[in-house]
Amino acid sequence: MLTLTDRDRALASGEAGPAAALAMRIILAVAEANDAPRLIDVTSAHIDSCLYHGEAGLDFAERLAGEGGKVVIPTTLNVATLDLLHPHLFRGDTRLQERGRRLMQAYVAMGGTPTWTCAPYQTAPRPGFGEHIAWAESNAIVFANSVLGARTDRYGDFIDICAAITGRVPDAGLHRDENRRARVVFELSDIPDRVLQSAILYPVIGHLIGGLAGTAVVAIVGLPGDATEDALKALGAAAASSGGVALFHAVGRTPEAPTLAAALGGAEPEAVIRVDLERLVAARAELSTRTSGALTAVSVGTPHFSLAEFRTLAALLDGRTIHPGVEFYVNTSRDVLAEAAVAGLVDPLRRAGVEIVTDTCAYITPIIRNTAGVVMTDSGKMAYYAPGNLGVDIAFGTLADCVTSAAAGEVRIDPAGWR
């Protein structure tokens, strides 16, 4: 039975206004559907529903904003439909542009911080270990749970803003200890060092895990102990795309998995899946619909590029220029772009032919001009979604492959020991 506080009842009854009452009624319905015993406080929210998908989302946001809805906790905003810093990049129709802008304005009016990024964890302050939050956007969810050890359930459109307005969520799902233990173990076995050190190991493993595990919490044994946050970001994003993974434990690397026993919570796994080179090669192949041919575009930064990734790209492009027939897009946040500019990385990239995208991402909004040829990426997430979203052929490779191909004007993928 759901136990409520006096404040919960007050919000639901309308004492804080109609928007807060609607938000609380929705949170209570979610709690009852999940058999939650109570609601708990959250310290921050990240809103995915500021990306325009249709009239229902716009109607809901404008109703909340029109009825005085205001967030009561720090709230960041996910990628949206428009790049407000580079409006010339948008290639959609005026209706989509107008509605996308209105939706963005509604969430800012409710007190959301216009970060417009799918990677809120790249900016400070970040939630701490064990901190309860209400984050939406699949890669942000899996990163917060897995890499930071914060606690969020999968909050989708509409529920995210309701949590931000009330500051409350159901005590259910991944907020609870018993739901955070791994159920499925993936064991890397007989993987050559050259593959373990490959830049695309992590999105490939993520793609494989998502397809096999679905929404299960997983433990991964055998990942390099020096895996960077960007590597784990890529793994989680891919696993949340091909499946619905919201929490993975990299044994020896992520905070809730110092050992496999700790990741499993002392229980036995429901399944153990051996991952060998053959399985990885097959998973890598699934991420490309084409591996040769004329290249029309490259899009990287799905999830958004970090400062470290800007540095890597700048080094790879040093002395090179992008082929005139190739569009090269880097998707990133406003904050990271500002840091990269201060570090002197942005102007050389632009001179080489790179176009910067902020506030949105080239796989979800019409930005790429020429979709008739092959589009290349190093992102497992973009490789999974772009064929359906954009109707393009995708070539998946390392960031170095993307640069080499962009300079040549054709797809060039170095197998780098994967065969």
pTM of the model: 0.97
The pLDDT of residue 404: 98
Q: Say what angle helices 55-66 and 94-109 make with each other, to 10 degrees.
A: 30
For residue 341, what pLDDT is reported? 98
Burial of residue 351 (number of CB atoms within 10 Å: 0-12, 13-18, 19+): exposed
Rounded CA separation 99/120 (Å):
24
For residue 250, give Cα distances in angstroms to 162, 176, 185, 209, 226.
32, 19, 10, 12, 11
Contacts of 367-370 with C-beta under 8 Å, sequence gap 24+, read 367/83, 367/89, 367/90, 367/91, 367/329, 368/91, 368/296, 368/297, 368/299, 368/327, 368/329, 368/392, 369/91, 369/297, 369/327, 370/296, 370/297, 370/327
Residues across the chain: 419
On the CB side of 86, CA atoms within 13 Å amount to 19
Strands 168-170 vs 39-41: parallel, antiparallel or unpaired: antiparallel
Q: What is d(CA 378, CA 79) in angstroms, rounded to the nearest whole number?
A: 19
DSSP tag of 292: S
* Token representation of residue 335: 């904050």
State the Cα–Cα distance between residues 381 and 203, nearest whole angstrom.
Answer: 8
User: Which stretches in the chain have pLDDT values below 70?
Assistant: none
